[in-house]
Amino acid sequence: MLDKTARSASSRADQSPLVIRRVDVIPVALPLKTPMSMAGVTITDAQNVLVRVEAADGSVGWGEAASAPTMTGDTLGGLVAAVRDHLAPMLVGQDAHDWKTLRPALHRALLGNGGAHSAVEMAVLDLAGRASGIRMIDLVGRARRASVKPMWLLGNKTAEADVAEAHARQKQGFEFFKLKIGVKPLAKEIAIAFAVRDALPKTPLCADANCGLTLAAARSYVEKTRKARLMFVEQPLAYDDIDGLKKLTRATKVPIGIDEGIHSLADIETNAKAGAGGVSLKLIKLGGISAALDAANLCKRLGLSVNIAAKIAESSISSAAALHLACGVPNVDWGVSLTHFYLAEDLVRRPLPLANGSVALPQGPGLGIEVDEAAVARFRVR
């Protein structure tokens, strides 16, 4: 795939090659603690793909991507086929330290497929980081913060249940909440925003409709919840409704966030021109941490707010990568959603902990987590 000149030019002189000898693609189904309902879908278990990259010396790196039929179009079978049939054969025999050269070749060979590309990049960088004793973020950028304060998603059937859950999570240290809207009748969604605001008068609060509102409903929601002081309302309209977004942003001062509508840097520019106040960056949408860092730098240039999120739900493998990203971007003023907290069981020996309201960037090499291969085997889809 790569000529010898390109390979030797990008190899580090002080490192011996880290030749990839094997790539395994492992589909898993991870049960959530409780089902999560959002517009268009209820998730009871996370159907994710794991990528295990093994070097000739036996060292291993891990990556993960969530299937997301309503966000990226990635199905579990599609993710497996993309990695197994297209990306893995290009990796075997290559030097993992040459990631900056390998990456564009992989993206040229397989367009789209952000989840598959992200999981592969994560695994190769985890491997390369472990071999060289370098954290993942330091391989692709630099850490600008040592920890983040994660948000918690609320999506219960009643206001009482959302308030009770918010109080319980607040006791654990969560200090930022996102309401999942676009599921219940609008009047009820509005009442819930006020109920949660009354219960948490000083806590940052936002709402995410996951494309679930019409323009009229979105206008009504942002207008009628103004006194609930939502920091932003995310993806109220269909992912590609740019005209609707223009009309909505002209009609309100409440910042509108875009999530499902962002799959590329061009999408960020388009939505910014239509008046979006910020975007949600996910590794699976952008195609990995390198592209997501580029996206975050573009957001800074455009003056957009940024939320970093894992998909509901990804284990501490992918949540660690989201954490590296969140600690490396110029700005993450709209919060960070780490979703291993929603899983009944994790795939690592020490799930990323919440301590004093923050999750710290792991200090170990690569992703900084230790995968529990017995747990991987237990949740493998056969």
Distance, in Å, from the CA atom of 289 to the CA atom of 63, rounded to the nearest integer, reads 11
Of the pair 32, 381, the CB lying nearest Mg ion is at 32
Name residue 69's amino acid. P
Least separation in angstroms between residue 305's CB and Mg ion is 14
Q: What is the DSSP string of 46-58?
A: EEEEEEEEEETTS
Least separation in angstroms between residue 319's CB and Mg ion is 16
Least separation in angstroms between residue 334's CB and Mg ion is 11
Of the pair 135, 180, the CB lying nearest Mg ion is at 180
Least separation in angstroms between residue 224's CB and Mg ion is 21
363: left (phi over 0), alpha (psi -120 to 50) or beta: alpha
Of the pair 101, 337, the CB lying nearest Mg ion is at 337
Helix (H) or strand (E) holding 102: helix 99-109
Of the pair 62, 232, the CB lying nearest Mg ion is at 232
Is the torsion defined by CA of 191, 333, 305, 250 positive or negative? positive
Q: How would you label 181-193 residue by residue, b for 16+ Cβ within 10 Å and e otherwise?
A: bbbbebeebbbbb
Residues in 169-208 that interact with Mg ion by CB under 5 A = 208
Of the pair 39, 361, the CB lying nearest Mg ion is at 39
Least separation in angstroms between residue 173's CB and Mg ion is 22
**Sequence-ordered list of residues with C-beta below 8 angstroms from that of 276, at least 6 positions apart, any chain:** 245, 249, 256, 257, 258, 304
Residues in 207-266 that interact with Mg ion by CB under 5 A = 208, 234, 259
Least separation in angstroms between residue 168's CB and Mg ion is 22
Of the pair 259, 346, the CB lying nearest Mg ion is at 259
CA triple 211-215-220, angle to 5 deg: 105
Q: 240 to each of 22, 134, 244, 260, 283, how far by Cα in Å?
A: 39, 39, 9, 9, 20
Under the criterion CB under 5 A, does residue 372 sit at the interface with Mg ion? no
Binding residues for Mg ion (CB under 5 A): 208, 234, 259
